[in-house]
Structures are given as structure tokens and as C-alpha cells.
Structure 1
């Protein structure tokens, strides 16, 4: 009776050895065409689609035809220009519905805290104002009463000013007025970080210049804010509509943290906020101020 020789063990058979999954190269190449139409934001002729996708028109055209057959691309009947089709919109909306800003930002916050060695807070717009919903605290502890649930002053904190820079003006005014009303009425509570200013201060040249700088730089910075001895950098995160949905704030002791808006920590922060915004469907330069 013949003896059956067991198959030789191959490294790729091991569950401990990562294997590259099989892929369909033509789909990956075709995505270059879809990426061109996505980034263009307008209908394009075949020649320009091909040029931007770095392929000959004769190669780009069959991809466009296939994408039109499934509704990912449509061609204008009069001009012959190509743009994204209804199926692309359906896919995009379905993907956005499955996204949660906090979930998308949490990993970035944890990594930013590890990379910078500083505290990183995720802050959303709550009914009382910008509210801390996550706080990562690594090597340098903060000697201040900052915790999940802390409400940040709209104008008296860097984080609040970032919200003031990018939220609609009517919303900002309502939030500032509500904050002042609570302060005057003695109902601000211990959780509100440094209430300050009011509608008059909001309209002051000083604050308006600060908000304009934040919009230009894409980040807010402050020395001794929200408290003396504590410095802050804060950057906005946008959704697919260009609406600011949260802020990522880096906070640390004055002696170890330089909140230079052009410095290395600011660069890390901007990159983190940009990655979250991209995952939420935002496009560069399409934020609402």
C-alpha cells in the first residue's frame, strides 16, 4: 500500500504569518478615475479625466463606461462631460450615516496624547457650550479642574474661540449670550471654564482679529488659557457638510508646552483633525465659518 506524503508546510499556511489578500488590480486602477471626479467637484471632459488619472484616454474611457453602467458615473447628454452619478451619492450617504465623529476622533486623540506627551480633549457643542466628552492624560498631568463634562467658555478659552470662529454667527451669539446670562445669574457652575466677555467683547476688534487668525491658521492657540500656567492648542473637525462637529484640544503646563501655532505640536494637531475630517467626508477648503 502506497504511503501518502503529507503536503509540505508553507509559511503562508501559518495563521501567525500575515498574507497579502488577493485584489483585483483593475478595480484599483479604476478608482483613480473616480478619485479624479471626486476631487474635481465639477464635470470634466474625457481628456482631462485621463490626464489627471495619469492614463491614456483610450484606457480611461472603458472605465468610465463601466462606471456609467452601474451608476457611479454619468455623462451629460449635451456636453459629453463626465461627473459622479447617483450610485456614488448613495454610497457616500450610506457611508456617512455609519460614521460617528467621536468614534472617528477617539483613536486620533489617544495617539496625539501619546505622541505629544500632553493632555488631549475632545470637545463637542453641548447645550451649555463647548463640552469635554473625552480626555486623554499622559505624562504631564494638569493641575486644573478639567474633566469629562467640563464646559468651556466661548470667549475665555482657546477651545471656545475655535467654536466661535467656525460655527454660524447666530449660533455663536446665542451661546455667548446664554453663557453671560448664567454667569450674571450665578448659575455658571464649577464646570464652566473661565466665563468671560459677552456680546460686546465678541464684537470687539481684539476678538474678531483672534477669530480671523484661527480661521486662517486652522488652529487656535493661547498662553495662560484657560488658566494661568496652562497653554492650549485647539483645532476644528468638520463633517461632510463643512459643519464643525467637534474640536481636538491639546492642553499642557506652560513649562513644557509651547503652543506655537506654527510649531511641531500644532502640526501634529492639524494633521489629526484633518484625518478625522476626511473620514467624516469633509473636503479641504469647504468648512463653514
Structure 2
């Protein structure tokens, strides 16, 4: 809906053309020559140069006096820092999670890492009926759910082990999943995620309900949240090559992109 509205609005073509140069610079780790930068933006060098002059006056780019190469300038840095300061991971993930739920017609949940482990903060229900006790505030088992396993796969092992030690020693907490060898289980979870880009739960902790989860990362590469899609086994295939696994993986990558992650 938002994209359709934006297409109807009046736009300034020259701003969009110049913006391609800034985007091209942002996608490179090193300064670029005029020729390479123009090519990356799909412009002839003669057309790109006036834009670079204007951007230089604004401080959005700067040109090395010796090599002549272009890089982003201090004003671009200020814009980036301001954007990061204003960024809300949950707000960034919301539209992606909603689109995912509509795409696969399944329930989708967003989870954050809290002081008791993975906590659900939002649930978007699909049209498929799913009778599970999941709502905002629910704490998920760290090793016994796809959501928890996604966090366990990417958080530092020390953090996960400390959380597990507290959970298993406190009867008031939700996650007391019995695990004989925590280190080996964490290695298996990490290998699973690295191989497939998602974690999964097949008929657990709720019989007949399957789930895929994937973490999204912020601009520093830290896990910001986890997206989970879940549904009844009759219409939620749990194979690693399932289209549902791919959809969850791509949605998490889209959230990471919105959060500035460049991994």
C-alpha cells in the first residue's frame, strides 16, 4: 500500500538520479574513481560529475585531493548516525512481518531478547486457524522452540549458557528444557542455522505445530530480533527446502537490511 501511494506522488527525477551516486558510494568499502562511480550508478561520467560537485558543497561526498577518488563525506555520516539513533527495530520489522504473514498465510511472530530469554512482542495471525498459547509477553523456551534456537544460534555462547543456568535453576521461569550436554546442543543449533539460514521446530513444543525462525541483525552485526512463522503440520511443510523456510529467511534478511546490516 505504501509503495502504491509513493508511486502516485510527484517526484523529482534529478534527485533520484543523484541519489543513485550516493547509494553506489554507500555500497562500496573504499573510495571510487569518477569512472567507476558513474558506471555503478548507471550514468555517463559527464552527467555524474555535476551531481558530485553539488554533493561536495553539501558535505555529502568528498574528493581526495591526490587520487581524485570520491567517498562519502561528513554530512552523510551525520545523516547515517541520525537515522541509526531514530531507528526502532520493532517498527522496522513490523511491515516485513505483516507482509510475510500475508505471503505465506501463516501466523508470524516477532521476538526480542529479554531478561528471561526470548520474549514475543508481536503476533500477526494468518487466516489459517492455529490454537496456540502465544501472545505478546510470552517467553519461549531457549532450546525447545524455533524462536529460542534462532537466538541461541547467533548470541555469544557465554550469554546463552548463563541464561540457561538461571532458567534451569528457577522454577518460576518458563524455560527449563532438559539438556544433557549444553555445549554440544549449542554447536548443533549453530551448525543447523549456518547450513540453512533458519532454525526449526517440528511438532514441538506443541504437537502438530511446526515453525521456522530466523534472526535479524543491526548495523553492528548484533542480533536485534527473531522472526518466526508457525502453523499446523497439515499446511506447514517443515522440510529445510520448504518455501516457508525460504520466505522466513528472506524476511529476516529484509529486516536486517532495514536495520543497516551489511553482512
Work out whether the TM-score is over 0.5: yes
Aligned counterparts, 1:1-289, within 5 A: 20-182=8-170, 186-188=171-173, 192=174, 195-197=177-179, 200-201=181-182, 203-204=183-184, 207-283=186-262, 285=263
TM-score normalised over the length of structure 2: 0.89
Q: CA–CA distance in 1 between the matches of 2:11 and 2:105?
A: 39
3-state secondary structure, aligned to 1:43: coil
Structure-2 change in CA distance of 1:20 and 1:243 (3 Å)? same
Contact 2:25 2:37 in 1 (8 A): yes
1:33 is displaced (CA, Å) by 0.9
Contact 2:153 2:186 in 1 (8 A): no
1:187 is displaced (CA, Å) by 2.3
Q: CA–CA distance in 1 between the matches of 2:165 and 2:68?
A: 53
1:126 is displaced (CA, Å) by 0.8
Structure-2 change in CA distance of 1:84 and 1:221 (3 Å)? same
Unmatched runs of 5 consecutive residues or more in structure 1 = 1-16
Number of aligned residues: 259
CA-to-aligned-CA distance 1:45-75 (integer Å, 9 cap, x gap): 2221122122222222222222111111112
Q: CA–CA distance in 2 between the matches of 1:29 and 1:220?
A: 40
Structure-2 change in CA distance of 1:80 and 1:264 (3 Å)? same
3-state secondary structure, aligned to 2:94: helix
- In our comparison, the structure showing a higher alpha carbon Rg is 1
3-state secondary structure, aligned to 2:15: helix
Structure-2 change in CA distance of 1:19 and 1:214 (3 Å)? closer
TM-score normalised over the length of structure 1: 0.81
Contact 1:194 1:227 in 2 (8 A): no
1:140 is displaced (CA, Å) by 3.0
Q: Paired residue for 1:13?
A: none
Q: CA–CA distance in 1 between the matches of 2:25 and 2:63?
A: 12
1:134 is displaced (CA, Å) by 1.0
Unmatched runs of 5 consecutive residues or more in structure 2 = none
3-state secondary structure, aligned to 1:40: coil
